[in-house]
Amino acid sequence: MPCLDAVLKVCRRGADKQSRVAALLKQSQQPISTSTYKAPVVASTRNWTTCSSSAFKSVGLSTTRRLFVHAAEQRQDRKHVVAMSEVEKAKNAAASGAATSGEPTIFDKIISKEIPADIIYEDDQCLAFRDIQPQGPVHFLLIPKQRGALTRLSNADESYKGLLGHLLFTAQHVAKQEGLGKNGFRVVVNDGPDGSQSVYHLHLHVIGGRQMAWPPG
């Protein structure tokens, strides 16, 4: 029965195509596994690149376009969620009065070794440790050991000039130690709620190992 065979053949092709599309969509949602880069924002939002071009060709151009749009929407959604969570943390910290409470912060507890951290540099004035939510292949925080009035950068007066200079000098020193001397890096200081500061203990973010975008968010 040639007509029935033809119909069955078309149905099988359709089922195979649906299976391939489902597999590609599932693959696009898996995180990229690398040994040196595990940033949740940057790495996991590029997951569609793990699908091979030959696999895309096998399901047709229109399906490829739909997959591309689907993955792009996922990337934007994840960026928005992460960005909003940081903004919300900053708003909550400001609303709680953390800037003036004088209570020990998580950074104070890292300095006193009450909380473990991956410390990569320490001297008598400051301490550097790796960020637990890195935004690049290299991302560390640099904090003064004595917080004093430096809950935020805008609280600094002239008496802090020496410490602030030491923090910046140490930032570039540790960045070079981490292999960022050739191509550079970014130093970020969040100040207050509009600056998305969620921990009221002055800290410098040093991020590198990838091309930074401009302007920042």
Give catalytic residues, as residue numbers. Answer: 203
Q: 49 near 34, Cβ under 8 Å?
A: no
Sequence-separated (6 or more) residues with CB below 8 Å from residue 177: 120, 121
Partnered with residue 127 across adjacent β-strands are: 122, 143
Q: Can you tell me the distance from the alpha carbon of 54 to that of 120, in angstroms, rounded to the nearest whole number?
A: 43
The dihedral sign for the CA sequence 136, 23, 53, 66:
negative
Residue type, 171: A
Sequence-separated (6 or more) residues with CB below 8 Å from residue 54: none
- Picking from 134, 121, 133, 127, the residue whose alpha carbon sits closest to that of residue 178 is 121
Q: Please count the CA atoms within 13 angstroms of the CA of 138 that sit on its side-chain side.
A: 24
Partnered with residue 210 across adjacent β-strands are: none
